[in-house]
Amino acid sequence: MPTLSIDKEIEIYYELSGNLESKETVVFLNGVMASVSSWRQFTPAFEKFGYKILLFDFKGQVKSSKPQGPYTFAEHAYELKTLLDFLGIDEVNLIGTSYGGEAALKFAILFPNCVKSMVIIDSVSELDEVLRFFIKSWIDLAQSGDGEKFFYGIMPTIYSDSYIKAHFEELVKRAEGTASMPKDYFMGQVYLYETFLNDVYMTNELNKIQCPTAVVCGEKDILKPKKFSEIIANNISNSELTIIPDCGHVAIFEKPQELLSLSLGFLLKNR
């Protein structure tokens, strides 16, 4: 299992695939509850077009270390930069969803010369009180250690009504799978949620981002509604905003084909 030691406490799990000789690299950045496996239906299409693919788990996520938190988005950015330096990668295209989109924004703010293009999906650069209290409730659910209670408590905030109706049996299996997650998974979730609450504000820095940026939001995202995507798009000069119809917060699961076409097309346009 490939990992990079950042220091004595932090091992970052990563996977490198696709055209390893290519200078065109796509880095996929996970949502907070996700892992590298969340992108399996996306990577083959990018590999077909000759991209090198980098997947990794943030510290606090499933396959990486979970040191005491909370962290900062700058820490995530510097840890990604350390991983890229280790792999000899100088420039990347970033595709990030939710927490991963926010980490991508911070990376582009801190390392603008390293980012060729970005796709930011269902993300924010600031909070409102509704979002703040959603995440505080997530912390309580994670601290309970009850995986099914955790999943069912979060489910209505991230999936649209139509998706829940159409995929209820699949969601029940996900709830059962979450029940079997180890205790450190839930502690890692708490650290990441606290990081988000403490450190996600970066609207006033978005004007530092110069790379072409596609900002994407699900029309029915109640967790991070489109007003947040509009804020991001309005503050990045070279950006375009797309709203995906009949889609909740987790566009990578609800509308994978639409999102794949949009993100791959955007990267190819800016290649």
Boundaries of every domain in the chain: 3-126+200-269
Phi-psi region of 127 (alpha: psi -120 to 50; beta: other; left: phi over 0): beta
**Chain centre to alpha carbon of residue 16:** 17
pLDDT band at 8 (very low <50, low <70, confident <90, very high): confident
- Mean pLDDT, the chain, rounded, equals 97
What contacts 167, CB < 8 A, 6 or more positions away? Answer: 159
Nearest 10 degrees: CA dihedral of 7, 13, 15, 16? Answer: -10
- Integer Cα distance of 137 and 148 in angstroms: 15
pLDDT of the residue at 7: 86
For 225, the token pair is 């509604």
User: What is 3-126+200-269's CATH number?
Assistant: 3.40.50.1820
Phi-psi region of 122 (alpha: psi -120 to 50; beta: other; left: phi over 0): left
Q: Among 76, 25, 79, 78, which Cα is nearest to 52's?
A: 25
CA torsion sign, 115 to 117 to 122 to 123?
A: positive
Looking at the predicted structure, is the pLDDT value of residue 271 above 80?
A: yes
pLDDT band at 94 (very low <50, low <70, confident <90, very high): very high
Looking at the predicted structure, is the pLDDT value of residue 9 above 90?
A: no
pLDDT of the residue at 21: 96
Looking at the predicted structure, is the pLDDT value of residue 5 above 80?
A: yes
**Per-residue model confidence as pLDDT tens digits over 10-60:** 999 999 999 999 999 999 999 999 999 999 999 999 999 999 999 999 999
pLDDT of the residue at 70: 97
The DSSP symbol for 181 reads S
Looking at the predicted structure, is the pLDDT value of residue 1 above 80?
A: no
- Integer Cα distance of 208 and 126 in angstroms: 16
- Integer Cα distance of 203 and 250 in angstroms: 22
Looking at the predicted structure, is the pLDDT value of residue 67 above 80?
A: yes
Within the chain, residue ranges assigned H as helices are: 43-48, 73-87, 99-110, 129-144, 147-158, 161-166, 168-179, 183-199, 226-235, 251-254, 256-269
